[in-house]
Chains A and B, each alone.
Chain A
Amino acid sequence: MITEVAGLLTGGGDIVSVIIQFAISAIFVLFLFYGQRFQTRIMLREVESHLRRLNLIRDDGRKMAIETIKEIGKPKGNPAERVDQFLEYIAITPQSMDPSGIVWKLEHVLDVRDVRFKDEVKLMAPEADETQLNNLENTLEAAMALNMIYKVIRHFYLLGKKTNSLYVIMQIQMVLPIIMKQAEAYAHALRAFASGQPIGDGAGALVAAKLMQGYETKEIAKDVVAATVPIDGRTAYVLKAKGPGGNVGKPGDGIRKIIEEKKGNISTIIMIDAALKLEGEAPGEVAEGVGAAIGGPGVEQFKIEDAIVKHKIPVNAIIVKEDLGDAVSPMRKEVFDAVDPVIKRIKRLLLERTKKGDNVIIAGIGNTIGIGQ
């Protein structure tokens, strides 16, 4: 091999071999000094192609949101401008230097945001009923998330281009596969919200809805309905977000209210929620544990934990596993089929951990879009 290379570099007197020798040396030197540049360029290209796809997904989401608003809300003018303004909406979280009382501050900000959103959507879609308003709000929030993802990726792409820095562009290139998955999940969510289909996240709400079938429900807190259901001699207060509009409600308030009404005479709380699965776990797998099974910004979880600690009420969790894509796209069959095993587990839990005549709370957590009661 060495002799061959030497032969190549010295032998062959004609002009072509000289050129080839020169070219090889030039490429060698080029890669020696500009290798990182090339790598940056290649990464930039990759990010660029993903960015283009993100842009398509975002535009598609925006278009779909506007079309749905036009179809359902029958606005007088064109809602496009309002929608574009809405997509840029921001909510500033409270300062956390002195964290005492921050939960209530955060809750207040989220409440104000929610009211603003609802009013805004009402203005965009004057003819929509309450269910449709909730669904439209969810649709717009998905479009907002897509817009945000696109903008952040574009920011890093342009920054990388400007600084020509491998490390700036590398940061974004490394997380890009996961970001793309997220964007696709939101795109699916947007479609589901626009048509009002139940999503995977609603597994908990579906369990509660199934338990409260045939019993009278009443709204006990903002967007939370509850029913009193006798199960095997126990009195279960079953609660869920008010459907079938896209809604998560305030289950924390609902649980606290029931505990206060019963003066702490609750022997156990069972919370059912969808939870993110690890890769390799089967979708729709059911698992049990303890603790407040609820996601979101943490306000509701705080309220529940705060309410139960006073009376030392044990809280059990039953979760249905699914990945992010499944959680926000139309509920897949495996997750839907997990409802009956979950109910079986609830009954077993009640038999094992409570006595006849006890009061229990069963809370189905999650977005109840497409699920009535």
Chain B
Amino acid sequence: MTTKDEPARRVSSFYLAIILVIFILSLSALYIAFENIINQSDPGSSYSFLAVGFFGLALLGYMLLQTRPKPMRAIVETPRVITTLECPKCDFKNIRDFQRGDYIFKETGPCQKCDETMKITAIYREAKKKEQ
């Protein structure tokens, strides 16, 4: 991204002001609601105030959640790739991690058991269990 078009990450003061106003209003609404309920006066509107107060607080929570910078996931995880070497003579098998330069049907070093040249017979990625 060019520096000029970099979207601002900071939270604007206007946004903060709105949050503050909503916070004060919701608190006062809740205060009125509880006062009315305790005093048993005007029970109808006190529940409305209660609802407005909670709604305001919920909205506030959502807005705050939005401003929080989201944690960036790791870019891409490197999967584990496995190389299988086999001896054509004695069926000795060697399984190890992939190394640069490996390819399927490449002839590699001698067999640990009978000195015959080993061959790479498989290179594959182990799929994660959840993945389908």
Contacts and interface: CB of A to CB of B under 8 A. Distances in A.
Given A60-B75, A158-B5, A370 B105 contact: no
A8 B48 contact: yes
Contact of B125 (A51, A243, A282, A333): A333
A206 interface: yes
Given A8-B45, A195-B100, A20 B52 contact: yes
Instruction: Classify the secondary structure of A's interface with B.
Output: helix
B125 A332 contact: yes
Interface residues of B, number: 39
A17 B31 CA distance: 11
Nearest to B7: A48
A268 interface: no
A253 interface: no
A283 B75 CA distance: 24
Contact of B45 (A11, A195, A244): A11
Nearest to A282: B132
Contact of B105 (A158, A333, A372): A372
A4 B48 CA distance: 6
Contacts, number: 126
B53 to A, nearest CB: 9
Contact of A198 (B21, B29, B123): B123
A14 B32 CA distance: 10
Contacts of A188: 76, 79
B102 interface: yes
Contacts of A191: 76, 78
A187 B75 contact: yes
A16 B66 contact: no
B47 interface: yes
A9 to B, nearest CB: 9
B68 to A, nearest CB: 12
Interface in A330-370: 330-336, 370
Interface of B: 1, 5, 7, 21, 25, 28-29, 32, 42, 44-45, 47-49, 52, 66, 70, 72-73, 75-76, 78-79, 81, 98, 100-106, 122-127, 132
26 contacts: A4-B48, A7-B42, A7-B45, A8-B52, A11-B45, A12-B42, A16-B28, A17-B49, A20-B25, A20-B29, A24-B52, A51-B1, A52-B7, A56-B75, A57-B75, A60-B75, A60-B76, A184-B76, A196-B101, A198-B103, A243-B103, A330-B81, A330-B124, A331-B123, A333-B125, A371-B103
